[in-house]
Chains A and B, each alone.
Chain A
Amino acid sequence: MVTDPFSYDAVRQTLERFSETVPEILCSHPATSKYSTGLYNLLDQVDSPFTVAVTGQMRVGKSTLLNALIGEDLAITGVNETTATINWFKHGGEELDGKFKVVWKDRPEEIFSMECIRDWIGDSEKAAQTRYIEFFSTSKLLKEANFIDTPGTRSVIESHEETINEFLAQRCEKESMRQGGRADAIIYVFPVVARESDQNRLDSFGEGTRIPGSSPFNSIGVVHKWDHLMADSPFEEAANKAATVAEAMKGLVCSVIPVSAPLYIASERFDDSFWDKVVILSSIVDDAGFKKLVLNDRFFEKENTACTLTAEDRQQFRSDYTLPWVSLRLILKELRRKGISEPDAARDYIRESSGILRLKHELEQRFFSRSRLIKILGCLNRAWEPCEQASGILRGEKVKLVSELAQLPSYLEYLEARITDNDPTVQRLHDFIREFQHVLRDRVKNTAGVLTKIDHERLAASDLRDQIDADLACLDMLARSDGVPFEPGMINRLRALFGFYGPEWSQRCSLFPQENLEDGLKQLLDDIANHSLAREWKKVQDHASSRIEQLLNYIEQIRGI
């Protein structure tokens, strides 16, 4: 029986070997035994659901963004509240409605009802004792993946920084691994200007989950909290900021989208009356009157003769619809600038401009549809890295031992010339060194033996890994919104080829008619070879050719049987 080299089972076999035999090999040498610990849970990991972490600096609106994506106010938000724990958002049945689960650091988990959640916010004692919290919803999004909300970086509350470091940094691997808790992908939330700390955080996430130099297929960036921007067109300005961040974070995130969760939530959840009033407010005739109205939240609720809504009406309006002042101001100014006076048009415009729809689309395109590939790659990478490190150490060790060994003959020679009958010490020293020479030889042999085995495993993993990495890199390029040099049909066939619909061989061939697979593949091979492409697309071309050849080989083999 020929095994499908692309199949999930093949990957599982590799990972199985990594979690069973490789630790043994590593433990057989004192210098490398410490690298074995990270390898035991690889299989659990590859089977666990796809996990997306939402992360970024504190107060950048991560929880609000999650609520907008989930479509439900599950994550806690507010003026003074700050997420203090790692919060999981999982798909759950109705029996868990209105409840959350606390997994403590040092005692069994407990279920609480949602009213108690205030005890876990900010600089709280309970938060400090909590490993993580799980929230549940029947939201469609959570069927695709688990989401994690993390405390923000840069907080003065020291424990928050630790919590997130513990979670994302690779140092606390064992801890996170036992929870099955490392993210497969992240949504990184930037404020309007990126900081060095953002760069570092993304760097370390990438280092832990991807091959050095590979494309950042598992990181999407969003620019959030730009509602306050004062430019003539805040939406354009936000897009500019996103472009700047994307440029600065090149190689760390695969795309940067400006989004506004408050705008999306307003467009999704507020009733017609909200949009009726917003349109009235934004189309005040008197310019000076409008300026006063949007000066700040206090002036909004003051007497204003230019406005047809009374001050009481406006106060009522503000308390009826919970929306940050700055977002309301943005909606009013933007609708006025655009001259939109139809409530429905206003709602649609704001929903479209919020960027959340685009983010959802990107999540689908970049994460969910490729979640298997991303997961496999992450696991392979985690398997490969300790071997890589161990290999380096052993190589160094070998060189050291060999050079020590090389010195011994000259010592022996020196001593031999001085052996006399009346000084037994020299003789003893000579014998001792000779003995030591044997020991060293054994050590060199052992080291070289372990090294060979490790290198064998390492190369096996890296081979598979590099292939999948190339799949993801190519898919990433094909996901670009413009500048893709193929027609739509071909893009789809290539996507399938690179594992967009699943990594197994039949999934890769799924867009070709079953009866003449070979012809379809050969046709694609010709098509792609005949394209003259810009340099950056060459690797797509090369990888497609190599994948097609592998598939053809495999098909030939199974046909032969």
Chain B
Amino acid sequence: MADARGKIKEIYVKAAMLLERMEDSERLADLRPVYNRVEMGIFRLVVMGEIKKGKSSFINALLGEPELLPTASDIATSKVYKILYGPEKKTKVFFLPDVDTGKREPPLTVSPAQLAEYGTEARNPGNEKRVDFIGVELPNSMLRSGLVIVDTPGVGGLFREHRDITLRYAPNADAVFFVVDSVESVISRPEIEFLKELLKMSSQRVVFIQSKIDAADEETWKAWQARNQKIIAEEIGLPIDRQLYFPVSAEIKVMADAEKSGELLDESGYLDLLNYLNHQLIPRKEKALAKDAAAVFRACLAEIAEVQKRSVNVLQQNTREALADMQQRLAEKKKQMIEWRSTTFQTEIQSFNHQFQDLRRNTRNRLQEELDPNGLLISGMIDKIKQDDSAPAKVIAENVKQYQQELLAQTGVKANDIHRAFVGAFKTALEQTIQRMGATQEISVANSEDITFDPSDTIIRQNLDMHFSGFDNTKNTYFGGMAGAAIANVIVGLIFPPAALIAAVGGGLIAGSLANRDTKARNKLSALDRLKGILLGLQQQLMRHSVNAMDDLAVTLERESSAAFKKIADRMQSDLEKEIAEVQETATATKQETAERLKRSMETLDETSRLIADVEILLKA
């Protein structure tokens, strides 16, 4: 079970050999990236928590690299660090895209000594150097299997924008580790509020890490653990028996590594955590990746089976007359296909495109409507600010900061919902089109059974009933397959997180417009108006951003879908041409040659069926 990755590798190797034997490099090229995704097995572990809870020390100890991330200075991590595998240790600074041109400067390789210039609040105030994140490549065995660890700046300190930066990483995390400590305090209200926000943005599980247990009496840290778990249960609604909670000591882990002591490793709490990470958390993601790949493999193997079935069919024709007859029918089929491509196929594509354009327009309207600065989302907040009229200017400024945060979060969630609905509707439309393309009226119940894979039986029946419906069967297989393969290829990696982008915009704005603490405006009304203006401006900018992002996504989806349609049709045609060539070849071949080739094709078909069975098992697991 733990070895879904191994299983998929086995299937991939066999399928690759099969395809090589069939000299089908095109299909092989399709499978490779799908397999690579499993092979790389990227697992994004994002570490979050308040400042000075020991996030960086935790990561250093986890990787067994005590000097990796800076921990000593105040609010050491002001930037995001991404740690991943690399053959040698290297630190690179990645920059944000330019606001106007959208272009990024290329990443800069820096020495550890230079890092402070980019990664600390003191040397890079307000991120004036526009650093996006800092990448650390490391030849570490834990990272080799594709684990990527993301260290986020601590929230809750004096730098509010750190919170937005941190939340940006929520949607794409495979797991979030939330660090609390044994020294400063039990979970606080701001932490609970942050967690609630986090859970809105990420469906992934949150794993709780209680750090620094070496610095408290056992009685104390255990009491804190109990209190924390109770708070989590009561405030977040996660029952204690379902909480993932690990008390650890980085200090003791470092010593355990140095002395290679199992006893100390156990004492440090990292033993349990590593077990959980390596035997449950990461395998779970591997399994999910393997399943995605398996679905694509199944579709591809179904196509191979179809090709082989037809090859067997051809090779089984004993008489020249039968072959001639077959040749004629295939020629007819080809004609039919070419006609289909220029008529029905085109019409379907066109109708799909119309449908897609409608969808795009509707989504655009919905975004503009729901994120409209004069719309519902903001009017509630403006009302709240109005109620503050009697409060001192400074209180208003504080509150507006709060509302701005809320606005960002709400807009993010809303935009995310709309984008997700857009992608969902796109998928449905695509699937329906494909179904229409593949389906034909002629297919009867009996015929549809042809698609089952019992080689001997099927071949005989197909032989008896070799109608034009074969073409439709083919279409069904291909397009049915495409539903798995092509969509998977189109969609994977495109599920778009607009919340992340919005957080990026908002972060900058907050820093720019409201970080000014000296809003000691005596004239409250004018202060209020100005602040309202800022809020409206922010909302407007968010809306524009979100609409632009949707447009980009739509362009990509459109391009990918039409490419996918074309590819499938091309492949159908080329497979058909191969079949025609085989008929011709068979007509001139000796009996013995034909018999041998028949044997080989039957074998390949057998093997394909076995592989399909393997894939089915994997998918059901």
Contact = CB atoms under 8 A, between A and B. Distances in A.
B189 A57 contact: no
Contact of B74 (A193, A212, A297): A193
A155 interface: yes
Interface string B71-109: 010110000000000000000000000000000000000
A295 B214 contact: yes
A298 interface: yes
Contacts of A296: 213-214, 218, 249, 252, 267
Interface in B216-239: 216-220, 223, 227, 231, 235
A197 B190 contact: yes
Given A199-B158, A225-B183, A241-B74, A156 B188 contact: yes
Nearest to A248: B158
Given A156-B192, A296-B267, A228 B52 contact: no
Nearest to A237: B72
A79 B223 contact: yes
A244 interface: yes
A295 B252 contact: yes
Nearest to B395: A204
Contact of B183 (A240, A295, A326): A326
Interface in A278-300: 291, 295-299
Contacts of B251: 230, 295
A325 B255 CA distance: 19
Interface string B137-180: 00000000000000000001110100000000000000000000
Contacts of B216: 297, 324-326
Interface string A48-73: 00000000011110000000000000
Interface string A211-245: 01000000000000101101100000000110010
Nearest to B186: A59
Contacts of A191: 52, 184-185
Given A80-B227, A156-B188, A296-B267, A325 B183 contact: no
A156 B183 contact: no
B215 A325 contact: yes
B564 interface: no
B235 A156 contact: yes
B74 A196 contact: no
Contacts of B157: 193-196
A154 B185 contact: yes
Contact of B190 (A79, A154, A228, A326): A154
B192 A228 contact: no
A312 interface: no
Q: Which of B212, B216, B218 has the most CB of A within 10 A?
A: B216
A80 B227 CA distance: 8
Q: Which of B72, B217, B267 has the most CB of A within 10 A?
A: B217
A57 B160 contact: no
Contact of A60 (B72, B185, B187, B264): B185
Nearest to B181: A228
A41 B231 CA distance: 42
A392 interface: yes
Nearest to B264: A295
Interface in B44-85: 51-52, 72, 74-75
A505 B123 CA distance: 51
Nearest to A200: B398
Nearest to A226: B183
Contacts of B6: none
B183 A228 contact: yes
Interface in B188-221: 188-190, 192, 212-220
A228 B212 CA distance: 9
A203 interface: yes
B188 A244 contact: no
Contacts of A59: 184-186
Contacts of A329: 215
Contacts of B267: 295-296, 298-299
B189 A154 contact: yes
B185 A196 contact: no
Nearest to A288: B259
A228 B249 CA distance: 12
Contacts of A228: 183, 212, 215
Contact of B189 (A155, A212, A227): A155
A478 interface: no
A476 interface: no
Q: Which of A155, A194, A296 has the most CB of B within 10 A?
A: A296
Interface range on chain B (Cβ under 8 Å from partner) = 35 or more
A161 interface: yes
B74 A58 contact: no
A481 B157 CA distance: 29
B386 interface: no
Interface string A502-545: 00000000000000000000000000000000000000000000
B522 interface: yes
A187 to B, nearest CB: 18
B547 to A, nearest CB: 33
A494 interface: no
Contacts of B218: 296-298
A60 B181 CA distance: 13
Nearest to A298: B218
Contacts of A244: 74
A239 B161 CA distance: 27
A416 interface: no
A344 interface: no
Contacts of A207: 392, 394
Interface in B561-596: none
B520 A193 contact: no
A80 B226 CA distance: 10
A297 B188 contact: no
A321 to B, nearest CB: 13
Interface in B328-379: none
Contacts of A261: none
Contacts of B249: 296
Interface in B515-556: 520, 522
A192 interface: yes
A141 B503 CA distance: 51
Contacts of B190: 154, 197
A549 to B, nearest CB: 32
A232 to B, nearest CB: 10
A388 to B, nearest CB: 9
Nearest to B74: A244
Contacts of A192: 52, 184
Contacts of B231: 156
A324 B157 CA distance: 26
A206 B399 CA distance: 18
B188 A196 contact: no
Given A156-B235, A230-B251, A79 B188 contact: no
Contacts of A326: 183, 215-216
A308 B90 CA distance: 47
26 contacts: A57-B188, A58-B188, A59-B185, A155-B189, A156-B192, A156-B231, A161-B189, A191-B52, A194-B157, A196-B156, A196-B160, A197-B190, A207-B392, A207-B394, A225-B184, A228-B212, A230-B251, A241-B74, A295-B251, A295-B267, A297-B218, A299-B267, A324-B220, A325-B220, A326-B216, A392-B522
Closest 7 CB pairs of A and B: A59-B185, A154-B188, A228-B215, A296-B214, A325-B217, A193-B52, A228-B183
Interface of B: 51-52, 72, 74-75, 156-158, 160, 183-190, 192, 212-220, 223, 227, 231, 235, 249, 251-252, 255, 264, 267, 392, 394, 398, 520, 522
Interface of A: 57-60, 79-80, 152, 154-156, 158, 161, 191-197, 199-200, 203, 207, 212, 225, 227-228, 230-231, 240-241, 244, 248, 291, 295-299, 324-326, 329, 392
Given A79-B220, A195-B157, 17 more contacts: A59-B186, A60-B185, A154-B190, A158-B189, A161-B189, A191-B52, A191-B184, A196-B157, A203-B394, A228-B212, A240-B74, A295-B255, A296-B249, A296-B267, A297-B218, A298-B267, A324-B217
